[in-house]
Each structure stands twice: as structure tokens, then as C-alpha cells.
């Protein structure tokens, strides 16, 4: 969706190292926004993005106008199924339907051999992996680790909406996720106790409004009550008008 | 779906004349059947189908086992939107979702340049055309005219379920559709009057149980009340345990 930062840079670098040609799509996709305000506010620094891509050796940027991607109102959509039911899907109705639909369209147009996605959007990655498998789309999906600021805040195009005070407390989200990770590492298997460890950290600052904090299996993003294998602890918090998400593998 | 007849033969011949290589998919797709009985009864004469394809110069037949197409329960589906709402869609809930999903999968696996579909399933053709456009699938869809018996009955794998008496009256369906076509040709623009012309024909034999008879625009298969351009008159009738569909362009 553009507004490229070092997180996207890491995707490009991984693609560049593995591929003869690298294409980047830049498209702020209207059908995945469930809040018109979020769509309008989403940054679109196209000149900077193109320079960013050029500097990293990208061969092609696909940045279509909205009318080219949606020449008329979309009729067919990807129905993503249960992978999109919880976490983000619960609080952003229609979001993954819009994401999966535009990613399928982009794959059909660009026809890449491989595509790189950030683990920052872990549920999006799970939705896309499952769609590609279920529809036999001939694209290999590669997940890439989240890039963070030195204080732990996950890079996001939305971070620029934070004011100085909000920015100062934003790393608390990652601190909370690490607390849950440590809780699991120390042997705790009850999801409720692991969640409490993270929520206790977030409770330290009342400006952090938790929308959800959930523990889910990686493949289908279903909430678990007992932790018996690899899981993602994922959360969404509001800081003023800005919504931050992050997750950690445990 | 196999049980190949001269209607499929006409698709193959058209493909053969236009292409360097021709592949035929034969797969009775469980997720598009809304009645388990219909799925079980659907004929699967694989040896005859393979001979049929060989005789027509087909280069490859893709006939996967069900477990290969659906190695686990399908999660992601194609949501076809309003093109699938009426006619067949109204009486076969989930049918077009299953059709569109398997066709998308087949397109991703086989990756044809062009694909031929019969106009006998006019709404299916409209659903697939719209899905391909909406998802930017790089396949050109070609519709092929319905092949009929000398008495007008549209060829269908399900015709073999008709007993001799049912087979004798089955052509009444096409007679009815032609009556509506003549009604439109003579200047009638009210859909209700055009439908009545066809229903009067079907009423001649009480064994013909009409499920629907509808007049719809070709692109989106939405029922129309006034006829102002090209339309499809489409119907489904039950003859005993067998369901027949047919349509005519007007």
C-alpha cells in the first residue's frame, strides 16, 4: 500500500536477493478499508516511494489508479473463511475479504513466482497463504520478520499519525507481547494467564486502549485456550486516533 | 464434469480449431452440488470420456481425484455476487460459489490461454465471465452455442436419467422457450406477457413441473420487467426425478 519504510525495504531486499526481477505493487486498496477516514488519511507519498524502490534495485513498480483496478464496482470477492473470523477480522468486518480480493487480482495481473509479506500482519499472511493453497494460485508465499524501531515499536505507515506523547508510549505494545512470550517460555500453557501477563503491561498507561489481545494458532488464526504448540500472540490497541497492531510468535 | 456428449464435443472442436494444444478437465465437483443424491447419481464414464477426447485430438485430460483438488476441506471460496443471485442461484444455494471456486482452481492449475463454456449453462457462463474480469484472471472465456437433439432437447448428461415417456415430452421445454422468443420478436416488451407465452406451452403437460422461468439481462442475469435489449429467457423444469434447464437468447 505504499508509504514505504524499512519494513517494506526488508521485503524488497529479500526478494532482490532471491529473484531475477522484482516488482513492487503500490496500491491503497479501497475495498479493504472498513473506515472511510482511515482510507482518506492513509499516506500516499508516491514520489518518495518510487525513489525508495529505485534505490533498492526494484525492476518494476505497479501503481495502478483505482479506476484501473476497479473499472466498475467489484462483484466477485474472495470469501476467506474461518482464517479471517477472529482478531483483526472480528474488528474490521470485510477487511480480509478486501485484502484477499486485491491480492488475488494483483497475482493474476503481475503473475509473480514468489511474493513476500511481512509477519507484522500475521493474520493477513495466514489468510493469503490459505487462499493461495485453496485456489491453487501458482505463487510461493514467503513471510518476513517484522522490522522494529530500536525501542521495539513495529514499523508501520500509520506510526506517522502518532504525536510525540503517543509515540513515546507506543513501544508498550511490544513490551506487553514480550511479557506474554516470556510467560509461555516459562511453562505457562493457559491462554488466559498468558493474556493477563500482557494486559497487565498495557494497563500501565490508560492511553493504551486495547481492542483485542488474542492467542491463536498460526495456520488458521483460531483462538486457543491451551497452548500446546507454536502460537501467535496478537493485539490491536488504539492510541488516540491511531490504531496499532503487532504480534509475536511464541 | 465428464459424461461427455456432442455438446462437449462442440467445445473441444472449437478449442481444437483455435489452439496449439487442448486440455479437457473432467472432474465431478462435489462443492457445486446442493443435493447429495444428484452428486452420487452424476454419471462418471471415464473410459468412454477418455476415448471421446482421444478421438477429437485432445492433448491432455486433467481428471484429478477429489482428494487432490480438495486435500482438506476448502476454506476460501469465490463469492460470485449478484450475477449468481437469481434463476439457478435462487434454487441451488451455493451452486455457483462451488462452480466459480473449482473453475478458478482449474484455471490456476492448468493455466489455459482460453477456455470454452457452453451457453446451455448461460448463468454459469455469466458467473465465470464476471469472476474472470473481476479477478483479472488471464484467461479468455468463449461461449459456445447449445447443441440440441433433432427435436430441440438441449444435450445434457442428465438426459440419460429420463425414461422413455419423459424423454418424449422433454422437448416441450425448448418449444416453450421458442414461444417466448417469438413473442419478443413480434414486439412484446412486457416480461410478464413473454413468460406467459412460454408457461402456456409448458402447461400442456402436467408432468412438466416448472421450477422457474425467468427473463434476465445477459451480463448480470438480473430479472427484467421490460425488455429493452438482448435478454436470456431461462427455465428449469422437473420431469420426474430429473431436473432440466435450458435458455434462449432473445
Given a cut of 90, whether residue A120 has pLDDT beyond it is: yes
Given a cut of 90, whether residue A14 has pLDDT beyond it is: yes
Q: How confident is the model at residue B147 (pLDDT cuts 50, 70, 90)?
A: very high
Q: How far is B62 from chain A (nearest CA, A)?
A: 14
Query: Within a domain: residue B19?
Result: yes
Which residues of A fall within a CB distance of 8 Å from B73? none
Q: Based on the fold, state whether residues A162 and A51 are members of the same structural domain.
A: no
DSSP A31-98: GG-SSHHHHHHS---HHHHHHHHHHTT-SEEE---HHHH-SS----EEE-GGGGTSTHHHHSTTHHHH
Q: Based on the fold, state whether residues B130 and B167 are members of the same structural domain.
A: no
Q: Based on the fold, state whether residues B118 and B179 are members of the same structural domain.
A: no
The domain of A195 spans 157-249
Q: What is the mean pLDDT of residues A158-186?
A: 97
Q: Quick: pLDDT tens for A33-44.
A: 988 888 998 999
* Interface residue B62 vs chain A (CB under 8 A): no
Query: Within a domain: residue A235?
Result: yes
* Percent of chain B residues topping a pLDDT of 70: 100
Query: Within a domain: residue A40?
Result: yes
Q: Based on the fold, state whether residues A137 and A161 are members of the same structural domain.
A: no
Q: Based on the fold, state whether residues B191 and B67 are members of the same structural domain.
A: no
* Interface residue B230 vs chain A (CB under 8 A): no
pLDDT of residue A186: 97
Given a cut of 90, whether residue B248 has pLDDT beyond it is: yes
**In whole numbers, what is the pLDDT of chain A averaged over residues?**
97
Q: Based on the fold, state whether residues A85 and A199 are members of the same structural domain.
A: no
Q: How confident is the model at residue A138 (pLDDT cuts 50, 70, 90)?
A: very high
The dihedral region occupied by B209, where left means phi > 0, alpha psi between -120 and 50, and beta the remainder, is beta
Please name the residues in contact with B168: beta carbons below 8 A apart, sequence gap of 6 or more.
none
Q: Based on the fold, state whether residues A139 and A70 are members of the same structural domain.
A: yes
Global pTM?
Answer: 0.97
A144, A178, A203: which is the final residue of a domain? A144
Q: Quick: pLDDT tens for B169-214.
A: 999 999 999 999 999 999 999 999 999 999 999 999 999 999 999 9
Query: Within a domain: residue B151?
Result: no
Please name the residues in contact with A48: beta carbons below 8 A apart, sequence gap of 6 or more.
A4
pLDDT of residue A205: 96
Query: Within a domain: residue B68?
Result: yes
pLDDT of residue B13: 98
Q: Based on the fold, state whether residues B182 and B76 are members of the same structural domain.
A: no
Q: Based on the fold, state whether residues A121 and A191 are members of the same structural domain.
A: no
Q: Based on the fold, state whether residues B98 and B170 are members of the same structural domain.
A: no
Query: Within a domain: residue A234?
Result: yes
pLDDT of residue A90: 97
Given a cut of 90, whether residue A29 has pLDDT beyond it is: yes
Query: Within a domain: residue B137?
Result: yes
pLDDT of residue B217: 97
Supply the CATH number for residue A139's domain. 3.40.50.620
Residue B5 is a catalytic residue: no
- Are the beta carbons of A105 and B77 separated by less than 8 Å? no
* Percent of chain B residues topping a pLDDT of 90: 98
Q: How many structural domains are present in chain B?
A: 2
Among the listed residues B118, B119, B106, B105, the one whose alpha carbon sits nearest the alpha carbon of residue B77: B105
Given a cut of 90, whether residue A231 has pLDDT beyond it is: yes
B115, B144, B173: which is the final residue of a domain? B144
Which residues of A fall within a CB distance of 8 Å from B27? none
pLDDT of residue B223: 98
Given a cut of 90, whether residue A235 has pLDDT beyond it is: yes
Which residues of B fall within a CB distance of 8 Å from A110? none
Q: Based on the fold, state whether residues B130 and B41 are members of the same structural domain.
A: yes
Q: Quick: pLDDT tens for B68-95.
A: 999 999 999 999 999 999 999 999 999 9
Given a cut of 90, whether residue B41 has pLDDT beyond it is: no
- Are the beta carbons of B100 and A76 separated by less than 8 Å? yes
Phi and psi at residue A70, to the nearest 5° = -130, 75
Q: A64, A69, A72, A76: which to substitute to probe chain B, counting the most B Cβ within 10 Å?
A: A76
A85, A120, A144: which is the final residue of a domain? A144
**Catalytic residue ranges of A:** 8
- Are the beta carbons of A80 and B83 separated by less than 8 Å? no
Q: Based on the fold, state whether residues A54 and A127 are members of the same structural domain.
A: yes
Which range has the worst mean pLDDT, B32-36, B100-104, B204-208? Answer: B32-36
Supply the CATH number for residue A237's domain. 3.30.1300.10
Q: What is the mean pLDDT of residues A160-188?
A: 97
Query: Within a domain: residue A106?
Result: yes
Which of B8, B86, B95, B161 is labelled catalytic?
B8
* Interface residue B76 vs chain A (CB under 8 A): yes
Given a cut of 90, whether residue B25 has pLDDT beyond it is: yes
Q: What is the mean pLDDT of residues B36-57?
A: 95
CA distance readout (Å), A9 to A22, A24, A54, A55, B3: 12, 11, 11, 10, 53
ipTM of the complex: 0.96
Q: What is the mean pLDDT of residues A61-72?
A: 97
Given a cut of 90, whether residue B38 has pLDDT beyond it is: no
Amino acid at each position: 500500500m505504499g508509504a514505504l519504510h524499512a519494513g517494506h525495504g526488508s521485503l524488497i531486499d529479500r526478494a532482490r536477493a532471491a529473484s531475477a526481477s522484482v516488482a513492487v505493487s503500490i496500491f491503497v486498496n479501497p475495498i479493504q478499508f472498513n473506515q472511510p477516514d482511515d482510507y482518506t488519511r492513509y499516506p500516499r507519498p508516491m514520489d518518495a516511494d518510487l525513489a525508495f524502490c529505485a534505490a533498492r534495485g526494484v525492476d518494476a513498480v505497479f501503481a495502478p489508479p483505482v479506476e484501473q483496478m476497479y473499472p466498475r464496482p467489484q462483484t466477485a470477492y474472495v470469501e476467506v473463511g474461518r482464517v479471517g473470523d477472529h482478531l483483526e477480522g472480528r474488528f474490521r468486518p470485510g477487511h480480509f475479504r478486501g485484502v484477499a480480493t486485491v491480492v488475488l487480482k494483483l497475482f493474476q495481473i503481475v503473475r509473480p513466482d514468489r511474493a513476500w509479506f511481512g509477519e507484522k500482519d500475521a493474520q493477513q499472511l495466514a489468510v493469503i497463504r490459505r487462499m493461495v493453497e485453496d485456489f491453487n494460485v501458482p505463487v510461493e508465499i514467503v513471510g518476513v520478520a517484522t522490522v522494529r524501531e530500536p525501542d521495539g515499536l513495529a514499523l508501520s505507515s500509520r506510526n506517522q499519525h502518532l504525536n510525540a506523547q503517543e509515540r513515546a508510549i507506543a513501544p508498550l505494545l511490544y513490551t506487553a507481547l514480550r511479557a506474554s512470550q516470556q510467560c509461555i517460555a516459562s511453562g505457562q500453557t493457559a491462554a488466559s494467564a498468558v493474556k493477563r501477563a500482557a494486559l497487565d503491561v498495557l494497563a500501565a498507561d490508560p492511553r493504551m486502549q486495547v481492542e483485542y489481545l488474542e492467542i491463536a494458532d498460526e495456520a488458521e488464526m483460531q483462538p486457543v485456550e491451551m497452548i500446546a504448540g507454536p502460537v501467535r500472540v496478537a493485539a490491536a490497541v488504539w492510541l488516540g486516533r491511531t490504531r496499532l497492531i503487532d504480534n509475536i510468535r511464541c
